[in-house]
Structure 1
Amino acid sequence: MSAPEVITPLSEPPWLSGAPSPYYDASHRRLQAACRQFIGDNLSRHALEWETAEEVPPHVFGVFAKNNYLIPALPAPLPVEWLKRLGITKMPGEIPVEEWTYIHSMIYGDEMSRAGLAGPGAAITTGMAFGVPPLIHYGSRELQEKYLPDLLTGKKRTCIAITEPEAGSDVANITTTAETSKCGKYYVVNGVKKWITNGVMADYATMAVRTGPEGSGPRGISLLHVHLKDQKGVSRRRLKVAGQISAGTSFIELDDVYVPKTNLIGKEGEGMKYIMTNFNHERLFISVGVTRQARVALAAAFEYTMKREAFGKTLMDQPVVRHRLAKAAAVLEAQQAWVESFAYQLSQMPKAQSDRELGGLTALCKANAGIVLDECARTAVLLFGGNGYTRTGQGELVEKIYRDVPGARIPGGSEDVLLDLAIRQLVKLFQEKVKAAKSESKL
């Protein structure tokens, strides 16, 4: 009989370390085991190599698509009708598509980040996670019929293209325009998009554009499904960024790009509403992955300090080292509990209710995940010492994780913007409830 595996402290969330949890059932454990094996074999064990090379081999996306490991990146509940039409009835772990919840999504997102690096996983999932949902939720039947089959099966790739050089988190002030052509059949798109993850790899983009007049603010924004590959007027190039390099962060220029009017997603002028709803899934998905990155960094530091000797004893024997680890561990496990609680709440609430009541808190959770990663990654680099400042050798992984920190604190809504947004939305929701309560009391 083989001895049970003994894992490094802090290297797994409590439920995978043997602790009881109210959230997980047999389906969750099947999914986790399936993801651990498939993602481990096809992504995690290569992630450091690919991030160093700054690119995930193109065939990997196809491997994930063929084995239904792209669709779990979509928000729950899954588009059951569409998936069954395409012959997809079960997710990894033999989970029926209609039984998939946000807890399953969280497990998948956690395993996709288990290598500790955001870039390789983002190279695979970003388009499906953030570019496809607006088509599912708001696209016309005609638009869905034309594009969803190839997108859901991974034959084609998309991305989400919102940010611009002068409008990062300030989405309401994007300047890329979409004006109606003289014949009335097209939008003519002009402008630039910057920091677009997967932009150089994608066939299409779900793109935020200004269809209203200058100065119309959020009421003038619409979403379009825009062809990128081999499209006249579109030019793309990779941006040199500090971290998440293999995810393909891109700069996209659009010069008189003709987009059929039928490629409008939803209604003209309602793009801002669609974007904000989409952000809730994006921010939680990021939170899950970032929390796992923080765990990988801290577990690596824990393991290193138990064997590294200085001043005649291991680093773990130094009280100051234990104190550093303890502070980081406290915020990490608090963030883990928050993410799990969020996933459970989302699995129990209708989408419209969760969008309204959890939007601000989702923004706060994402912002806090970046803060926690900063603490854990910085702790790891400091405890690795010179090795943590070196791009090769023992500290290579934690050095790369530390370079991912800004990518956790800026995309999906910059940290300071999200902290403010969270409180403003909580105040707004409170005021609405107070007003409703007063109205009821007068009846």
Structure 2
Amino acid sequence: MSKAVPIPFSEPPWLMGLPSAYYNNSHRKWQKTCRALVDQLLMPEAIEWEKAGDVPEDLYSKFAAANFLIPNLSAPLPVNWLHKLGIHTLPGGLKVEDFDYLHTLIYVDEMARTGSLGPSGAVTTGIAFGLPPILKFGNEQLQERFVPDIITGKKRICIAITEPGAGSDVSNIATTATRTADGKHFLVNGTKKWITNGLWSHYASMAVRTGGPGPGGLSMLVVPLLDTPGVSMRRIKVGGQTTAGTTFIELDDVKVPVSNLIGVEGQGMKYVMQNFNHERLTISISVNRISRVALSAAFEYCMKREAFGKSLMDQPVVRHRLAKAGADLEAHWAWTEQFTYCMTKMSHVDANRELGGLTALAKAQAGRVIEACAMTAVLLFGGNGYTKSGQGEIAEMAFREIPGAKVPGGSEDVMLDLAVRQLVKNFRAKTKELETSMERPSGSSKL
């Protein structure tokens, strides 16, 4: 049976049959596995869920049962923990020790084929960004208490950084964690806002203020949420990704054991910043795919829709719009792809130093790409692109994702500034190192 020819811009070049130096047989097999599972678990009803504003209660457990939550964790995976829990392979037979950042890219890209950050975010965002701080910075005892149930999907976790008065300005966080008189607990007070998956989470990896003002006073703490005295949570209604469980959290003298401290007290700012890198890269990947879904849908529509006696595709102005948006889309994908490949060849330390600023820039560019592609799709679909049902609904849905691409994980303007500041910092450090090495005498000191 012959396969349908893919619509232009509907898939990344390597899935359109073009050669690529990045992917091996493991990656290609993983892509087929991910596509089959996403087609089974998400695609049939994702748009209807997004319209209704919620996903089925058992969706998370279905992902957990398939070991399909684990790929949300940054590569390399926590192999020792997975083996300890009897998990040696991912779906399709991929060994957990063979999982790299290109497998991450494939997973995130496939999960976003619904055309919205909502349905996939309902099952991925919490574990993707809430568990890594515990795995990377938590001591052995902390991991023993929380990792097994979270990694197997028995319990859920989220990341809780943002507050009503502190978004991209993390150092301005006001939620406090004050030690009790006996020194055994923290009492946590404050509010967290726009916390994805918060409604369903048993725990949050939370940024709190344990010291004075500024970044040096911040720490990270595992704070219990569901069924915890002093915690109240409610859903926030947002314009896009309505199914992701965006949450407002109030904390009133929430008693948390001191043993729930992640890493070292006062090092919270560093942990938050390093965790952002994984978040920003996955945002860049998923937003590119949503842009692709919208633009390719418009491309297909323009080949069928007639106006002024000929198809829209026969109108030069239409082709011009598609070309400009397509160029932005593919350029961003190529950069993100190359960027991810670098992650497979670099240590975490080197990647955080060399790629941190560029990750912020890629994330910012993703917001600009979806703005171009979604707006193009809406305009070319015409009235259908402004309607929440029918053939243009995918364009309308993608357009509502623009703010969710530009703001979470660091607002666009902050990311652009951060990227250049980080590049300047690295340049100056390397210049100083080079100058020092040139001044240092070489050779033997003997006459």
TM-score computed with the length of structure 2 as normaliser: 0.98
**CA–CA distance in 1 between the matches of 2:186 and 2:431?**
43
Check the 8 A contact 1:102/1:344 in 2, yes or no: yes
| 1:87-102 alignment, distance < 5 Å | 87-102=86-101
Check the 8 A contact 1:44/1:112 in 2, yes or no: no
Equivalent residue letter for 2:256:
V
Equivalent residue letter for 2:26:
S
State the Cα distance separating 1:183 from its structure 2 match: 1.6
Check the 8 A contact 1:45/1:115 in 2, yes or no: no
**CA–CA distance in 2 between the matches of 1:364 and 1:95?**
31
Equivalent residue letter for 1:18:
G
1:298 aligns with 2:272: no
List runs of 5+ in structure 2 lacking aligned partners.
441-447
**After the TM superposition, which parts of structure 1 deviate over 3 Å for at least 4 consecutive aligned residues?**
none
Identity level (%): 60
1:368 aligns with 2:365: yes
Partner residue, 1:238: 235
Equivalent residue letter for 1:150:
D
**CA–CA distance in 1 between the matches of 2:256 and 2:186?**
5
**CA–CA distance in 2 between the matches of 1:335 and 1:368?**
7
Partner residue, 1:414: 411
Partner residue, 2:150: 151
1:325 aligns with 2:322: yes
Q: State the secondary structure of the residue aligned to 1:159.
A: strand
The equivalent position to 1:284 in structure 2, one of 275, 281, 285, is: 281
Partner residue, 1:164: 163
1:310 aligns with 2:307: yes
**CA–CA distance in 2 between the matches of 1:53 and 1:114?**
18
The equivalent position to 2:398 in structure 1, one of 390, 397, 401, is: 401
State the Cα distance separating 1:104 from its structure 2 match: 0.4
Q: State the secondary structure of the residue aligned to 2:102.
A: helix
**CA–CA distance in 1 between the matches of 2:4 and 2:32?**
15
Equivalent residue letter for 1:243:
G
State the Cα distance separating 1:295 from its structure 2 match: 0.3
Q: State the secondary structure of the residue aligned to 2:290.
A: helix
Partner residue, 1:16: 15
Q: How many residues in Structure 1 have an aligned counterpart in Structure 2?
A: 440
Q: State the secondary structure of the residue aligned to 1:88.
A: coil
State the Cα distance separating 1:95 from its structure 2 match: 1.4
**CA–CA distance in 1 between the matches of 2:221 and 2:205?**
6
Q: State the secondary structure of the residue aligned to 1:113.
A: helix
**CA–CA distance in 1 between the matches of 2:216 and 2:316?**
57
Deviations 1:205-241 (A, max 9, x none): 000000012xx20000000000001100000000011
Deviations 1:273-306 (A, max 9, x none): 0000000000001111000000000000000011
Q: State the secondary structure of the residue aligned to 1:187.
A: strand
Partner residue, 1:43: 42
Deviations 1:284-337 (A, max 9, x none): 011110000000000000000111111111111110000000000000000110
Equivalent residue letter for 1:302:
F
**CA–CA distance in 2 between the matches of 1:278 and 1:7?**
36
State the Cα distance separating 1:92 from its structure 2 match: 2.3
State the Cα distance separating 1:347 from its structure 2 match: 0.4
**CA–CA distance in 1 between the matches of 2:428 and 2:186?**
40
**CA–CA distance in 1 between the matches of 2:394 and 2:199?**
26
Partner residue, 2:445: none
Deviations 1:217-269 (A, max 9, x none): 00000000000011000000000110011001110000000100000000000
**CA–CA distance in 2 between the matches of 1:94 and 1:291?**
28
Q: State the secondary structure of the residue aligned to 1:7.
A: coil
Equivalent residue letter for 2:81:
W
Deviations 1:51-106 (A, max 9, x none): 01100111010000010110000000000000000111112232111111000000
**CA–CA distance in 2 between the matches of 1:160 and 1:58?**
20
Partner residue, 1:80: 79
State the Cα distance separating 1:3 from its structure 2 match: 2.2
**CA–CA distance in 2 between the matches of 1:50 and 1:201?**
17
Q: State the secondary structure of the residue aligned to 2:44.
A: helix
Equivalent residue letter for 2:162:
T
| 1:27-426 alignment, distance < 5 Å | 27-213=26-212, 216-426=213-423
**CA–CA distance in 2 between the matches of 1:116 and 1:338?**
21
**CA–CA distance in 2 between the matches of 1:393 and 1:220?**
52
**CA–CA distance in 2 between the matches of 1:12 and 1:393?**
23
State the Cα distance separating 1:398 from its structure 2 match: 1.1
Deviations 1:390-409 (A, max 9, x none): 11111111101110110000
Q: What do you get for the CA RMSD once the two structures are aligned? A: 0.7
Check the 8 A contact 1:75/1:133 in 2, yes or no: yes
Q: State the secondary structure of the residue aligned to 1:232.
A: coil
**CA–CA distance in 1 between the matches of 2:195 and 2:105?**
23
**CA–CA distance in 1 between the matches of 2:169 and 2:43?**
34
Check the 8 A contact 1:200/1:236 in 2, yes or no: yes
Equivalent residue letter for 1:427:
V
**CA–CA distance in 2 between the matches of 1:44 and 1:269?**
43
**CA–CA distance in 1 between the matches of 2:3 and 2:35?**
18
TM-score computed with the length of structure 1 as normaliser: 0.99
Deviations 1:86-132 (A, max 9, x none): 11111223211111100000000000001111100000101111000
**CA–CA distance in 2 between the matches of 1:225 and 1:192?**
15
State the Cα distance separating 1:421 from its structure 2 match: 0.2
Q: State the secondary structure of the residue aligned to 1:56.
A: coil
**CA–CA distance in 1 between the matches of 2:395 and 2:69?**
27
Partner residue, 2:444: none
Q: State the secondary structure of the residue aligned to 2:391.
A: helix
Q: State the secondary structure of the residue aligned to 2:188.
A: strand
Check the 8 A contact 1:27/1:93 in 2, yes or no: no
Q: State the secondary structure of the residue aligned to 1:127.
A: helix
**CA–CA distance in 2 between the matches of 1:279 and 1:252?**
21
Equivalent residue letter for 1:368:
Q
